[in-house]
Amino acid sequence: MTSLEERAAERLRLARSVAVLTGAGISSESGIPTFRDAMTGLWAQYNPADLATPEAFHRDPERVSRWYDERRCNVARCRPNPGHIALARLQKFLVKQGKAFTLITQNVDRLHQAAGSEGVIELHGSLWVWRCMTCGKETEERGAAFGAYPPRCACGGLRRPGVVWFGENLPTKAIAAAEQAVADRDYFMSIGTSSEVYPAAGLIEQAIRADVDVLEVYPADTPFSGRVTWAVRGRSGEVLPRIVAAVTGS
């Protein structure tokens, strides 16, 4: 453990309530491409405006729904990594001590839930949920690839992935619960996020302005690195197990 990790762990042990925000970085060690990683990130291959906006879906529902279904099927082959598992263990440990813990994610892969995390706030929806554009019917899709694109609802309506696209509002309850959680906590962790997409990144700003302890785990600088309490450089699947082990003693 680096001394920075030791100091972050020491204060985490003393914290009464914790909130965590995660991004695509925490799932990269599970084999899910991030968005902004230079060569391997999705945005290195695709233009977000062509795939992750309501306009794109309207323009080409076949291409957009096929792309999201490919991502859904890729995630189906992936498993939580030690970073996801460490956060699930930290939640169990803190809750057993009567402390509060809230996990907020930008990720749409539900690997946190697969690792055992409970009450996860999904700011940007999920790849597993598909919704009819006509009757609004939502279903969880855990099966094989749809095969025909765009998928159709029994009512004949087009079905879209249950994710939040750029230019779309986040689920009101989710962002409200996230802001409330950050307001009530005395320790905040920002894990594997480039911290550039809003309003999610605004939660980091909120924690810094509330002057709580902020731990950032990221392999490079983010727009907030100079203002957090501890900016730990590293991969979440290696750093988080060390810090959580120091806190839980096992």
How many chain residues are in contact with ligand BV8, going by CB under 6 A?
A: 35
Alpha-carbon torsion (107, 237, 69, 58), positive or negative: positive
Between 92 and 137, name the residue whose CB sits nearer to Zn ion.
Answer: 137
Convert residues 9-28 into a mask of x (bound to ligand BV8 by CB under 6 A) and - (unbound): --------------xxx--x
How many CB atoms neighbour CB 2 within 10 A?
13
Stretches 56-64, 92-100, 171-179, 234-242: which one binds ligand BV8 (CB under 6 A)?
234-242
At 143, the amino acid letter reads: G
- Binding of residue 168 to ligand BV8 (CB under 6 A): yes
- Alpha-carbon separation of residue 215 from 6, 19, 91, 212 (angstroms): 12, 11, 16, 10
Convert residues 35-74 into a mask of x (bound to ligand BV8 by CB under 6 A) and - (unbound): xxx---x----------x----------------------
- Binding of residue 169 to ligand BV8 (CB under 6 A): yes
Distance separating the N- and C-terminal Cα atoms of the chain? 14
Rounded to the nearest whole angstrom, what is the least distance from the CB of residue 148 to Zn ion in the complex?
16
Tokens of 144: 């094989």
Q: Which residue from 49, 95, 135, 176 is in contact with Zn ion, where contact means CB under 5 A?
A: 135
Alpha-carbon torsion (178, 183, 185, 191), positive or negative: positive
- The residues that touch Zn ion, with contacts defined as CB under 5 A, are 132, 134-135, 137, 153, 155, 157
